[in-house]
Amino acid sequence: MYVVGVLVVLLGGCDLADDKTPERVSNGTNALDVTVPGRPTPGSLALTEHVIARLKARDAEGLARYADADDTARDNAARWMARWGDAARRPATAHFGLGEKDASVDIRFTGERSPMSLLLVPEHEDAPYDDAYVVVLDDGR
């Protein structure tokens, strides 16, 4: 009986089914080679890393999930994938321009002539200062 009690105490607080993988590893942002001069907000940096990670992984569906609520998000994500998927596998530098509510990010991938420009807009219109963003994918830049 004593052994059973010890096992219950030892294993009682352990949930063996939980995945203990850190989020940065499981979502692909841990392996990114991105230099960030300046001081972006945590929310704008996190979304930018997620966008680059989805491009690098060639995951258009995942990229569309980070986009603004738009009927064309999947099509636009596929266009972004075609344009920037290969570039996202190389080192990058992300320059952030923070506006009052929106944020812009110019990402220069090594070997690319032009930057990839992101427009980040507040995720919730009723709370524009919460540092939670979605990316606008409307023009396939």
* Domain 24-136 coded CATH 1.10.8: no
Task: Give tens-digit pLDDT for 12-68.
Answer: 555 555 766 545 555 446 668 999 998 899 999 999 999 999 999 999 999 999 998
What is residue 140's predicted lDDT score, i.e. its pLDDT? 44
- Residue 112, pLDDT > 90, answer yes
- The residues spanned by each domain of the chain are 24-136
Strand order in the sheet with 34-35: 34-35, 92-98, 103-109, 116-122, 133-136
The answer to pTM > 0.95 is: no
Greater confidence (33 vs 6) lies with 33
What is residue 15's predicted lDDT score, i.e. its pLDDT? 54
